[in-house]
Amino acid sequence: MAGLDNYYLLRTINVMNKAFLTATLLVIWYVPTRAQEVPKAKISNGTISAEIYLPDAVNGYYRGARFDWSGVVSQLNYKGHSYFGQWFEKYDPFLHDAITGPVEAFDPLGYDQAKVGQTFVKVGIGVLERLDTAPYHFSKPYKIIDHGIWSIKHSADKVEFVHDLVSEDYSYSYKKVVRLSGNKMIIDHTLTNKGGQVIDTQVFDHNFFVIDNATVGPGFLIRFPFEVEGDASGLGDFAEVSGGEVSYTGVLGKNDHARLRSIGGYGGSASDYDIAIENRKTGAGVRITCDRPLSRLIFWSAMKTVCPEPYISVKVAASESFSWTITYDYYTL
């Protein structure tokens, strides 16, 4: 795809063609329809190549109510190694976790104040409807009432997303830029509060790493810059903690998971947001850093994916902006 201006032009043409085709089908019933392709952009800097799914309420790969729709990386390759891909069996664009790559999710805004049938906001998704009296849960299929407006720019080594939302309680402009530089993928974020209420939330990065499409087991290592504290029973017989490292001792099967529900041991400095993941059997590694301190940390893994889940706090007063950058440094062993 040459560029995002072309992408929006193609969307308009496709809608017109669809209307024409529908009219034709009324007369010539045997004319076949053709499914729309998932919109995506390819970027490369000669060292890293990546493919990124683009937000689209009609044809987008991910249309769920949990994760920010921007920056969904479907593939990334560096020196013959692959880092992302489909880690799940069942695909449904509306399923909360049918998504790939380093994806982000914000805690909801205004959920507790909303009554059943009223609305709340999730940054990067839009205005959603509260389903019931139960507490918010990320897996519920909340209806999206207003998707906001997405603007996208695409160049050879960069994709820029801007999500603008105006709602009764919360309004914002959210900018995310995914760019390549040397052996790094860098994701820059800026959230600008356009409303009257303070935006007070958390955002976490759910890193669905699928490294060389390998099954998770011995040879996988996750390293933190501090001694890991907390209950390690969720790792079962599949992995163990030693100091600042989690290493795998068993192979995960189709229905297996190994997790650390709440990791402690980190401090208040951004230097502790420094996580390395390695597949020592294939010789591929990646280091994740951020310029903001951790507010919470979880780790989860399944048969095909290992997922450090670092959180940061986000608090933005009216008319103010908050920025952060996450860097993925890819390397070989």
- Rg over CA atoms, the chain: 21
d(CA 217, CA 220): 6
Residues of the chain with pLDDT under 70: 1-35
Question: Running DSSP on this structure, what letter comes out for residue 319?
Answer: T
List, for residues 31-58, the tens digit of each pLDDT value.
333 357 899 999 999 999 999 999 999 9
DSSP, res 61: S
> In CATH terms, is domain 37-332 a member of 2.70.98.10?
yes
- Estimate to the nearest angstrom the gap between the alpha carbon of 109 and the chain centroid: 18
- At 135-167, the pLDDT tens digits run 999 999 999 999 999 999 999 999 999 999 999
Residues 3, 6, 8, 9, Cα dihedral to 10°? 170
Is residue 208 a contact partner of residue 102, using CB atoms and an 8 Å limit?
yes
What pLDDT, on a 0 to 100 scale, did the predictor assign at position 36?
Answer: 77
**Domain extent listing, the chain:** 1-36, 37-332
Q: Which two tokens stand for residue 123?
A: 């940054």
Sheet containing 126-129: give its strands across: 119-122, 126-129, 144-146
Query: What pTM was computed for the model?
Result: 0.88
Half-sphere exposure at residue 223, Cβ-oriented, CA atoms within 13 angstroms: 11
